[in-house]
Structure 1
């Protein structure tokens, strides 16, 4: 047995369909022409006029098709829509995968711990690799203009000239001197024919070796100082910062360019007193 509410809805649907049919017939339109204009299947137009809206589909489609039909015919069917076609109600979405708050907190902490471990695994090796370079003291360096002295013993006296006092460099570098009485430190003097004269216009390192290869003098020379070397007792000479040293031999200036490398000059004194290249 049909309930009263269902009977009322069915009656309203039949009434709405009848009104659409009457308006169509008054306008002189056939079912096929209405279907063509509304671009609806013919059986949908027939169902709308017959009140068989359940065969059309969802309520939202029925409301839209009824409005399109009524607009084409120029009639108002809103009162029928309010009583017979219920508005579409959006479906309530219910989450079936709800995550408790404490579980989300644990997951977030887990992800942070993973990121932290990865960061440490990358940063620690890099830090260990660079730490030694950052903490090591830089090696002591010396100017190329100075030649570090070799560790040698003082040579025996080979000249009657008095030994000059040791020269203490101003800087705190590893400079040291071992002066033997083989040569003397004197003021500038006229150059003898058989003497090698060294005149210093700036700071320079001097190393003089005897004929036997032993160092007889070495030290830091200052601007304005000079040296007179006996060719008979000198085997080789090394001059640091050679650009500030003038060498004279037999009254002529010796060109140090052939014996210079990186501003350090090395030359030997032959048996006849001439300056030659050091081996």
Structure 2
């Protein structure tokens, strides 16, 4: 190893790489041995000795590698490093981004708002469509049993003129479409002669609500004038007849007077298992 603190004028003129090469050869070390001890590629050690700094990267790395090489050989390169033709270490330039031009800031704000509006529309429009569709659904039509629809009353009062008049047909068709709605849970009993315990003959249009003894709906609809309903014993338990003055109720024994069961023009009564009629219990 070489440890000579007194450097002659001739030696001071020698570059760092040359000084390191002479120190390595004086110590009897090969390039491979130095590279192994410094854990550097042999090409890097060779470039350091030949002072090919541009092959070794940034100046800060070159200086560090030279110092490591000098420590291994115990050579002082302080003054030589100052004289060496190695570019000085320049600190990185810092660029401030804190100031944003007004136009750029305004464009960024508009872009963020546009994204917010688009996201809101994508989420809100389907919800609004579902809610509005549900709200627009028309409620079911209802009507009082005490009121006979005008079109039905016209047909009942003068069937012949209603049939002869061309305008009467559309009105009747409309009345049928807008009228209440058959909600029968049992087949409608048609006239069955002597087997029927109770028969209803409709001289005019009438709203009916007929229930079975267990409360199930037998028929709930607007029955037209001229139609007939017949029920066997035990088939019905409760009846409500609108426009009762135009309904004739018959039992096997004869006609039933609905006067005791009427309130206004609506009759309400119960039907026993044998077809007999009785008032509704209060």
TM-score, normalised on structure 1? 0.40
The answer to which structure has the higher helix fraction is 2
TM-score, normalised on structure 2? 0.39
